[in-house]
Each structure stands twice: as C-alpha cells, then as structure tokens.
Amino acid sequence: MTVPAHGAAFAAMVDVPAAPVAAGTRDDGNAPAFFRPGGDAQGGGTRPERALCQAVTLQPAEHAPELRLPYAAAKQNFYEAARLGLAAHVNWYDRERWGVARLVQRVLLDQARKGLEVLRVDRDDIDRYLAVIEARVAGGATGAAWQRGFLDRYGRDLRALTCVYRDLSAAGEPVHTWDV
C-alpha cells in the first residue's frame, strides 16, 4: 500500500513518516512502529489503525489522489508536514492551502470514518481510534510535541527522555494524555 498525496497530512496527524512497509515485504525493524505488525503501545499498528491508513485512501478510481494533486505539490506537502507537523500548511485538491490540523478536522477524519465503515471495521474501534486522532489534533499533542516539551522542561537529557517516553508508551495511553 502506498500513501497518496494527502498522506503527508495523515503522517503529521499521527506523527509518523508517510511511507509504510508495503504489503508482502519484509519488515527489517526500520519501519515506523505504526506500520509494523504489533505496532506500538500508543494504539499504533493495530488492525483498526492500519485500516484507518487504508480508509483515508479509499476513493473511486476517477478521484485517485495521484490524478488530483501534482507530484511536486505532494512532495512539497510531505516535506512541509515533516518539518512543521500539525502547524504545516499543505496544498489540497481544491487548489487551496490548508492548515494540516484544519484539514484533518474538516476533511480527513470524515473521509477516514467513511473508509473504515466500508472496510467493516467495528464502529466502537472507529470511534475510539478517530477520537485519539481528533484529540491529538485539537490539542496539538503529538509525540514530537511531547518530546520538545520534555526537553524544554528538563534540558537535553536524551537518556531521561527515552526512559520516560518508553515508560509512558508501555502504559498504553495515547500520547496526547501524557504530562511532561
């Protein structure tokens, strides 16, 4: 599976690169945890979240993302989202520039819900996982934002950051609920 042009917005929303391991390829451990079998403790990698990534891309062939957004714009979106996360502004199909957070809230969450329903994902799972993404976007709370907050508060102790991040991750709560 490949992530289409709007994958950069999705990547910023979930705080992972928009390049999952393709189906049927060997995972050498370098893929983001979100796309690895088993995933991570923040809810990534589970069947419903993998389905979410697929669902965002479900569209009739005549509306294929690669036909609606030039490659150069998709590339610019990817780098902008990688650099600025939820604060990024990306080119969208309507030829407008959207803030990623606004795009997620007004377009992508609804599109993901519809796609997940088409994939017959359990409604409770849909509600639970989309609520996590909605809360992350609403609060600007991503893993990267938490790490920046930790460094601001405690200095550049990367060992401490890693230990605390590991412990919070192991607790199984989504990153937007973590205190710094």
Q: Specify the DSSP class assigned to residue 76.
A: H
pLDDT-derived band of residue 12, with 50, 70 and 90 as boundaries? very low
Tokens of 37: 């079998």
Residues contacting residue 59 through CB under 8 Å, at least 6 positions apart: 65
pLDDT of the residue at 131: 95
- Our CA angle for 120, 169, 130, nearest 5°, is 30
**Tell me: the pLDDT tens digits for 61-109?**
556 777 888 899 999 999 999 999 999 999 998 889 999 999 999 999 9
Of the ranges 40-44, 70-74, 155-159, the best mean pLDDT one: 155-159
| Rounded Cα distance, 81 and 129, in Å | 21
CA-CA-CA-CA dihedral for 24, 48, 92, 20, to nearest 10: -30
Give the least confident one: 27-31, 48-52, 134-138, 142-146: 27-31
- 3-class SS of residue 139: helix
Which residue type occupies 166? R
pLDDT of the residue at 64: 72
Residues contacting residue 123 through CB under 8 Å, at least 6 positions apart: 117
Answer yes or no: pTM beyond 0.95. no
Residues contacting residue 169 through CB under 8 Å, at least 6 positions apart: 40, 41, 42
